[in-house]
């Protein structure tokens, strides 16, 4: 039994109540959702909050719905308390964003996925967090609520770096909005030493094809290799081109140059750069194949 440092515990009853509690207990209070990142850190006494504000009763944040939002068009709205399992089992997600299914399948194990939430994953902002990359690639928008009301942040604005987000101490991430694009496909692939271990490296891609079969829009993101943004370097190379193996090879090469991995027990730098390259090629291939499959008259 690993014993955390002493802390106080309170259950929030609503978003407003949670915000009030955060305000009341100040900087040494932490929100706990699924708890699968925070609690192990507390047990190792690496995290020592004075107050734990449990938001597991905030069922109002557990939803998935396709909606039309002014200025954004059609979006998938994902409540911050949506569990990994819900995402994995959603037909809407399977149809619209196969990248999420790819990623969810390799996030920890069913026990963790039953508890862990998308909001917790994004706010933890672990460099090896898969959903951060997925949301970057899908160009999601984070809806953050605080005492001053709601604000909308692009993933680039939201995700500031390892373990760091734009969510202030007295704010709560309440929703992620993912724009729905027609004629698109997406994919994610991860290398790990063992199921449930953190990624050695992972890559995600989303591709939209034009009527002529060329790539009209693309986003590529990486996990655990020191890049907290999409690999924008590849976009100019890919957009306007017909997807070919040669193109994927060039994209992979650029990706391996763009990343900035650290050597650790999961592998040396050159291996991780190699994975950035290899996995980028794989996810682009899969994303293009899936996009083409959604448009019956294009085959690649």
Which residues are at the interface with another protein (CB under 8 A)? 1-3, 5-6, 40, 44, 109, 191, 193-198, 200, 265-268, 271, 274-275, 278-279, 282
Closer by beta carbon to another protein, 40 or else 161 = 40
Q: Is the dihedral of CA 273, 109, 99, 168 positive or negative?
A: negative
Least separation in angstroms between CB 136 and another protein? 22
Q: Are strands 141-146 and 149-154 parallel, antiparallel or unpaired?
A: antiparallel
Burial class (CB in 10 A: 0-12, 13-18, 19+), 117: buried
Task: Look at the block and give the residue holding tokens 């140059």.
Answer: 257
Spatial distance between the Cα atoms of 125 and 18, rounded to a whole number of angstroms: 21
Q: What are phi and psi of 225, to 5 degrees?
A: -125, 30
Closer by beta carbon to another protein, 183 or else 192 = 192
Burial class (CB in 10 A: 0-12, 13-18, 19+), 45: exposed
SS3 (DSSP) at 101: helix
Spatial distance between the Cα atoms of 284 and 269, rounded to a whole number of angstroms: 22
- Residue 110: count other Cβ atoms within 10 Å of its Cβ: 9
Spatial distance between the Cα atoms of 167 and 164, rounded to a whole number of angstroms: 8
Least separation in angstroms between CB 162 and another protein? 16
What are the Cα distances from residue 49, in Å, to 30, 58, 118, 162, 277?
A: 6, 21, 21, 19, 39
Packed helices 269-294 and 245-258: angle between N→C axes, nearest 10 degrees: 140
Least separation in angstroms between CB 193 and another protein? 5
Closer by beta carbon to another protein, 147 or else 162 = 162
Closer by beta carbon to another protein, 44 or else 236 = 44
Q: What are phi and psi of 125, to 5 degrees?
A: 50, 35
Least separation in angstroms between CB 211 and another protein? 32
Least separation in angstroms between CB 174 and another protein? 29
Least separation in angstroms between CB 7 and another protein? 11
Closer by beta carbon to another protein, 79 or else 221 = 221
Closer by beta carbon to another protein, 170 or else 256 = 256
Least separation in angstroms between CB 177 and another protein? 32
Least separation in angstroms between CB 51 and another protein? 17
Closer by beta carbon to another protein, 70 or else 110 = 110
Closer by beta carbon to another protein, 122 or else 275 = 275
């Amino acid at each position: 039994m690993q014993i955390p440092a002493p802390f106080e515990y309170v259950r929030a009853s609503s978003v407003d109540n949670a915000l009030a509690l955060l305000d009341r207990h100040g900087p040494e209070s932490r929100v706990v959702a699924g708890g699968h990142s925070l609690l192990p850190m507390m047990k190792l006494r690496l995290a020592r909050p004075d107050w734990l504000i449990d938001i597991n009763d905030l069922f109002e944040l557990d939803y998935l719905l396709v909606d039309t939002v002014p200025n954004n068009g059609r979006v998938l709205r994902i409540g911050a308390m949506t569990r990994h399992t819900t995402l994995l089992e959603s037909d809407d997600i399977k149809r619209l964003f196969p990248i999420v299914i790819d990623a969810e399948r390799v996030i920890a194990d069913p026990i963790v996925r039953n508890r862990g939430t998308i909001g917790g994953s994004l706010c933890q902002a672990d460099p090896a967090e898969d959903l951060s990359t997925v949301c970057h690639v899908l160009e999601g928008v984070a809806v953050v609520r605080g005492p001053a009301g709601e604000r909308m942040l692009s993933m680039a604005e939201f995700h500031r770096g390892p373990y760091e987000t734009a969510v202030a101490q007295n704010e709560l991430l309440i929703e992620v909005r993912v724009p729905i694009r027609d004629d698109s496909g997406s994919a994610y692939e991860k290398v790990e030493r063992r199921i449930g271990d953190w990624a050695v490296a992972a890559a995600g891609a989303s591709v939209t094809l034009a009527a002529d079969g060329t790539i009209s829009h693309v986003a590529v993101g990486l996990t655990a290799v020191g890049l907290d943004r999409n690999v924008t370097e590849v976009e100019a190379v890919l957009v306007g081109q017909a997807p070919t193996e040669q193109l994927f090879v060039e994209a992979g090469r650029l990706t391996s140059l763009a990343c900035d991995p650290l050597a650790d027990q999961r592998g040396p730098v050159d291996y991780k750069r190699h994975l950035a390259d290899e996995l980028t090629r794989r996810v682009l291939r899969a994303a293009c194949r899936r996009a083409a499959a959604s448009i019956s008259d294009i085959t690649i």
